[in-house]
Amino acid sequence: MTLLGLARPEATARSLRTRSLVGGLILIAALVGIRVFAPSSSSVDLGHAAQDFVTLSLSVVVESLPFVFLGIVLSIFVQLWLPQSVLFRILPRTPVLRRSVLSLLGILLPVCECGNVPLSRGLMLRGLTIPEAMTFLVAAPIVNPITILTTYQAFGFDNGILVARIVGGFAMANLIGWLFSRAPNPDALLTRKFSAACTRAHHDDDDQHSHRWRRSITSFGEETTAMLPALFIGSAVAGLIQVAASRQLLVTLGSNPVWSVFVLMLLAFVVAVCSNVDAFFVLALGSTFMPGAVVAFLLFGPVIDVKMIALLRTTFTARTLVLLTVIVGLASATIGLAMNLV
Amino acid sequence: MSERFTKRWLGVTLSLIGVVAILWLAASGRLELYIHPRYVVFTAIMAIIGGAASIAAFLVVPLTDHDHDDNDDDEPRPGGRGAVLLRVSGSAVLVIAAVVALLVLPPATLSSATAANRDISSSSTLDSADSTHLVGGDSTSFTVKDWATLLHQGLGDDFFAGKPAHITGFLVATDDPDVVYVARFLVTCCAVDAQPLGVPVYLPGWQQNFAADDWVDVTGAFGLNPDATAAETVVLTAAKTDKIPVPAQPYVY
């Protein structure tokens, strides 16, 4: 009964639901039909650059989409199914300690960086402050068991890369949380659309338990409408940059202790590799680049890259993203340069 | 009306496009053209969950006629009819582009252009590779990755002299008209991080029978490059080269 329209007559609701379902099934049949009757590989020749652009863009979409779905599912769970008393009972009241605990939440919810965006939105809708959600957003892709394990597999304890990544990620997240907690008007950090959604969600707290399945499914539609256009456009931009930019040019600058740090941060921005496996990617460059540059790559990339900027823009203003990029960039570069030069 | 439709269905439509594409790729064994095999099961499972949630979205009708407009009440929408038209048109273009890219165009591997862009001849991918298990092994079973690793380690001309090899890969042209790389991409996560690995093959006049990007099966033996001034001093001299279809698993891991 929870799926039925309450203010509509039962017959009208049933008719609407039937029409909607039939429309959905026709859409799915059409998509399957397009795929089945699409041209074979031998009959389409886009040319190398265009074909590689498509392949690289689709690679980012196919790799990221499952994590976005996972993040949305966890976000819905946190918003609608996890009792608020449980969420807030485990969090200390002191803001500094509270953010510290949140920066470790990624250990329990090891979602890739793309999935952390919808999850952070869910945490804000559930009542966490913006600086608290940002602390989680920055820390979770780095301080989580999968990322730690893959970084260990790639580097072991060589050159302090693993320790620098974990400690640096934790410190950077809490620094960002603290800095944004000083903002005089935190709501101004969010887009007007998402700020309004937060206000509405907080007003609706009393109604959280009614029609939970219905609200969960509606939330899935809303979050995919917010996230997927950004993911698709971000993936296309990432693919375009990959085709247009010479990666080798970046690699040739890798042996300088200062330039190598900034070059690998730029590479992290361009390649947009998932934080769970970025250690394997940068391992290939490990002997070309200095350890500090590798750490800067491993700290900067999980938070800021072309795909993440597109996803984060669904939630934060452009000004907030510029600030976030500058702070994460400065923190990553400082840690990286300190490792190379000290 | 059209903007309301877009807000309600854009995400679900894009989800279904992605879900249909992923499940079709998984069913046809071609998901590995885009991601590492270790993610195939996870990706397929999440696609099924995303697809189920999308279908469920069609079962939910608004509680009231005004449910659609809830979001609009608090939210100033910039612009007039022109801005609305722009948003709706942008959404339509996005959906069409997603359908074309994910469903209409056939799946494809990366080409020799990307291999050249990522500089196959001095790939740093192999700097940290361990080749100790390869030394003394049966060289006829070595892959492009194995040979590229050994060549990159600089084991010396004597090690390679006369060693038989049988490799499969796609052709990437070099500056030397008599030498062509037989290459594969090494993937750690997805095609975005693909690093090209190549074995230089001495094959004078290869351009007459083959083109860059052709997949070939090469049998031959290693030796010194007849051109002593060439950048590649050790090359595989091809005794037999056959053109083959793109293999089911074109990348190496």
pLDDT digits (tens, 9 = 90+) for B14-69: 999 999 999 999 999 999 999 999 889 999 999 999 999 999 998 886 655 545 44
Contacts of A247 in chain B (CB under 8 A): 117-119
Contact B126, A290 (CB under 8 A): no
Q: What is the DSSP letter of B127?
A: T
Q: Which of A301, A254, A238 is nearest to A54 (CA)?
A: A238
pLDDT digits (tens, 9 = 90+) for A113-143: 778 898 899 899 888 999 999 999 999 999 9
Contacts for A316 with CB less than 8 Å, ≥ 6 apart: A189, A190, A191, A324
The answer to whether residue A149 scores a pLDDT higher than 50 is yes
Contacts of A287 in chain B (CB under 8 A): 124, 127-128
pLDDT digits (tens, 9 = 90+) for A283-301: 766 666 788 999 999 999 9
User: On the CB side of B227, how many CA atoms lie within 13 Å of its CA?
Assistant: 15
Q: What is the C-alpha to C-alpha distance for residues B39 and A22, in angstroms, rounded to an integer?
A: 33
Residue A2: its pLDDT value, please? 44
Residue A159: its pLDDT value, please? 85
| The one-letter amino acid at A327 | I
Q: What is the C-alpha to C-alpha distance for residues A62 and B57, in angstroms, rounded to an integer?
A: 22
Q: What is the C-alpha to C-alpha distance for residues B200 and B41, in angstroms, rounded to an integer?
A: 36
The answer to whether residue A168 scores a pLDDT higher than 80 is yes
Read off the pLDDT of each residue in A28-54 and give the average, rounded to a whole number. 85
- Asked if B173 is an interface residue toward chain A (Cβ–Cβ < 8 A), one would say no
Structure tokens at B111: 């080409």
The answer to whether residue A167 scores a pLDDT higher than 60 is yes
Phi/psi of residue A56, nearest 5 degrees: -65, -40
Give percent helix, percent strand, percent coil of chain A, each to the nearest 5: 75, 0, 25
Contacts of B16 in chain A (CB under 8 A): 27-28, 31
Mutate to test the interface with B, among A22, A37, A52 (most CBs of B within 10 A): A52
pLDDT band at A46 (very low <50, low <70, confident <90, very high): confident
Mutate to test the interface with A, among B8, B193, B253 (most CBs of A within 10 A): B193
Interface of B with A in 177-236 (CB under 8 A): 188-193, 195, 213
The answer to whether residue A23 scores a pLDDT higher than 80 is yes
Residue B210: its pLDDT value, please? 92
Residue of higher predicted confidence among B53 and A78: B53
Residue A165: its pLDDT value, please? 95
Phi/psi of residue B196, nearest 5 degrees: -75, 140
Residue A288 DSSP SS3: coil
Residue of higher predicted confidence among A67 and A9: A67
Strands B234-244 and B195-202: parallel
Phi/psi of residue B169, nearest 5 degrees: -175, -175
Q: Between chains, do B24 and A39 touch, taking CB under 8 Å as contact? A: no
Residue B154 DSSP SS3: coil
Q: How big is the CA angle at A68 (ends B77 and A30), to the nearest 5 degrees?
A: 80
Residue A171: its pLDDT value, please? 96
Contact A296, A265 (CB under 8 A): yes
Residue B199: its pLDDT value, please? 92
Q: Which of A36, A79, A108 is nearest to A218 (CA)?
A: A79
Residue A1: its pLDDT value, please? 42
> Nearest-CA residue of chain A relative to B28?
A36
pLDDT band at A3 (very low <50, low <70, confident <90, very high): very low
Q: What is the C-alpha to C-alpha distance for residues A75 and A216, in angstroms, rounded to an integer?
A: 10
Averaged pLDDT of chain A? 85
ipTM: 0.86
> Nearest-CA residue of chain B relative to A220?
B53
Positions of chain B with pLDDT lower than 50, given as ranges = 66, 68-76
Least confident of A40-44, A49-53, A257-261, B239-243: A40-44
Cα B156 off chain centre by: 32
Q: Between chains, do A221 and B107 touch, taking CB under 8 Å as contact? A: no
Contacts of A61 in chain B (CB under 8 A): 18, 102
Contacts of A199 in chain B (CB under 8 A): 74
pLDDT digits (tens, 9 = 90+) for A176-192: 999 999 999 989 999 99
